[in-house]
Amino acid sequence: MQHQTPVERRYADKAESARLAQIAQQEGWLQPLPEVRRATHLKPWQHALFWGLRIYIVVLTVIVAWAFASGRVAG
């Protein structure tokens, strides 16, 4: 490993900073991300999906709870 003088180190640091800043600029790393807004206007089929999911979760949770509570679970 070559020994760098403090001046050479300072120039190397500045060169790397410049390259990093260039990448940050080119690829947009310093720009804020677009906001993700709550989906408020769901289509009818999406509403149906969410209701189906709610029903599925409730039914499965009841089945699981009953299976555990009644000792039917095979562990």
Member of 2, 33, 44, 69 binding another protein (CB under 8 A)? 33
6 interacts with another protein by CB under 8 A = no
Size of the site for another protein (CB under 8 A): 30
Q: Are 67 and 73 in contact (CB under 8 A)?
A: yes
Structural Rg of the chain based on CA atoms: 29
Q: Is 72 left (phi over 0), alpha (psi -120 to 50) or beta?
A: alpha
1 interacts with another protein by CB under 8 A = no
How far apart are the C-alpha atoms of 41 and 35, rounded to whole Å?
Answer: 17
Q: Residue numbers of the site for another protein (CB under 8 A)?
A: 13, 16-17, 19-21, 23-24, 27, 29-30, 33, 36-39, 46, 49, 53, 56-57, 60-61, 63-64, 67, 72-75
